[in-house]
Structure 1
């Protein structure tokens, strides 16, 4: 497969996954901002969390001066001039899909093209009239439909593999950043032996719901969410679809199935990351410090993404 084609397929799926992850992040931050803040602020700190996670806080402040709920929601969801907005991600995904129209199925193209046309209509209407929760659910629904169309209609060839690869690289990075952000938001409470406070419960529950893992948590642990159990579930459980371990396992298997020798650096790094998670216990992570461990692992995923780009997506 030509590197340019592989790149467009890879980034098409990354941008679609990113749009869904941004919607999940925005929905949970908005919901938590509406809760009583217990003397910790007016809810804008919680609303600023997506900006901190995506590294766009400085850009927002430069353009808008101060945090304002309505402007912040528009900036993150529908601002065409913000390259990190959901609107921009869907536009980039549609452009990549158009470039490889002949390598994806009609169902896949129709889904992504209609999604782009609909979000343009929503942008004209305005988020205030459409509703944030409805908008976030719509984004997740469109992402689910695209993945279903991809899995159900495309041949199991290299195109399929690069689409899946982009999804899991983006998902791994998002899971790491969300766990770290929630842990930091709780502060000293995250390290407390007694994590039964209402704030701790809602923060960890919100994280689990943002990653569609709340039902999995209640089935496995049954206890109220805690840093130990949530971190174990979202980092080390291979049977949880959005966990870090599930993502690295998929990436390792996909890279191993790609032909040629150019991919060896990426394959080796993916195997190392997967083995590290496979043989690491949650106790070891917490002894090192969850924030320190996550801060170390986030660049590893970025390094893997760079290795994939160098091995497969750069024109030779």
Structure 2
């Protein structure tokens, strides 16, 4: 496969996944903002959302002050913000158009229809009328795109590069979400303390809904109940989103997929890229949440993000950039 074709497929999937992840983060922030809370807590929540994508300086340069409406507009409809939903869907569609001949008709039509429809929704004010419904629509279109891709594409290198893009992006985003939400709420103060909705303590009751919203942002609330069959505890939320291989959006599950697809496109079993991916996955496969918390969750996730970004760079250099002859 030509490196430029692989590059377009890789980034098409990354941008589609990024649009979904942005919608998930906005939805959890929007729902959390409806809870009774102080103005400072609400402000910290919206600032944390921008920090996840490292966009706080860019936002402040444009808007000066963090407001819920300003953040929503910046992260949804601002075409100059590369991480906004509209920019991600546009980039996904443009990458798909560049390799139209490699995609099945169903995959292309799904990407194209998503782009046309999101413009109609924003133009007609659908987003302002019901932000939650709009975010659910973005998630649905991402699910549809992924399902159509797996269901109609030949299981060759094209599909493997698309899956690589999807799960690298997912690993990056889940790590950012966990880091900002735990770091921002000083989760270490609550480790070992069960959080229940029936608590008479207002702060603890808020925290129950805070962690519940985080779980729902990664479609993990029902999964948590099924796996742990207990009240929500922050350390278990961290374990579910970092180490559980059977949780679809966890770091471990994402790296399993990255490594599996990397093996399928790598012609050299001793590839340094493959070795780095395997080493990163091994740390998750054999890690324990108590050890991670003891050494520092923030430090662990910061290092993980650095390693994932370095892995993405290695994949680009080895597979996606034209090789010098």
TM-score range, shorter chain: over 0.9
3-state SS of paired residue (1:101): coil
1:118 aligns with 2:78: no
**In 1, Cα distance between the equivalents of 2:271 and 2:13?**
23
Match of 1:281 among 269, 288, 295: 288
Q: Does 1:219 align with 2:218?
A: no
Dislocated runs of 4+, deviation >6 Å: none
The C-alpha deviation readout for 1:97-128, integer Å capped at 9, x for no partner, is: 00010111111100110110111122322355
**TM-score between the two structures when normalised by the length of structure 1:** 0.95
Aligned to 2:81: 82
Structure 1 spans left out of the alignment, 5+ residues: none
Equivalent-residue separation in structure 1 for 2:264 and 2:304 (angstroms): 24
Query: How far does residue 314 in structure 1 lie from its aligned partner after superposition?
Result: 0.6
| Residues 185-237 of structure 1 deviation map (CA, whole Å, 9 limit, x = unaligned) | 21166445434311221121111111111111001112222121111111111
Q: Equivalents in 1 of 2:23, 2:164: separation in Å? A: 21
SS at match of 1:80: coil
Unaligned runs of 5+ in 2: 196-203
Question: 1:203-214 to 2 correspondence within 5 Å?
Answer: 203-214=210-221
For residues 112-261 of structure 1, the aligned pairs below 5 Å read 112-126=111-125, 129-187=128-186, 190-196=189-195, 197-261=204-268
Structure 1 residue 262 displacement after superposition: 9.3
How many aligned residue pairs are there?
315
Contact 2:191 2:235 in 1 (8 A): no
RMSD, matched Cα: 1.6
* Cα distance in 2 for residues equivalent to 1:155 and 1:130: 40
- Asked if 1:20 corresponds to 2:20, the answer is yes
Measure how far apart 1:151 and its partner are. Answer: 0.8
Determine if the alignment matches structure 1 residue 300 to structure 2 residue 307. Answer: yes
* Structure 1 residue 81: Cα displacement: 2.0
Separation in 2, partners of 1:125, 1:63 = 25
